[in-house]
Amino acid sequence: MSKADRPLPATRFSFRLDFTPGGRLGPGKVQLLEAIGETGSISAAGRSMKMSYRRAWLLVDDLNRIFRAPLVEAQPGGAKGGGAHLTPLGREIVANYRAIEAKTMQAGAAEIAALREAVALRDS
């Protein structure tokens, strides 16, 4: 196969925002927020990402402390079961993160394509 005919590598863009003096928002936390929004549960969201409930809960707690208001509200379990949902601010944070991601991909499309072309794919 000639170099011109070879397939390009898959490309995934991710970024992280570091808020000084504390707190980070990156692809994993945003994915967790999206999973909570989809499942209505911190534990189910964590399971879907192959993480423990404790790890998921600690990340949610961190997110809720970083921002001016909670991103996730949880209801304790019981006879009717518990659950969790994104607050309006939580939905806004996810939407803003994904918008930045999309705009960056669009703005950097030519450069990203050049980087993909430069990647040396190896036969397994």
Is cis: bond before 88, omega within 30 of 0?
A: no
Give pLDDT, residue 39. 96
pTM recorded for the entire structure: 0.84
List, in order of start, the domains of the chain with CATH numbers: 25-98 (1.10.10.10)
Give the tens place of pLDDT for each residue, 2-52.
Answer: 555 667 778 888 899 999 888 999 999 999 999 999 999 999 999 999 999
Pairwise pLDDT comparison (57 vs 7), residue with the higher score: 57
User: Does the CA dihedral 50-63-31-42 come out positive or negative?
Assistant: positive
Pairwise pLDDT comparison (79 vs 118), residue with the higher score: 118
Give pLDDT, residue 75. 86
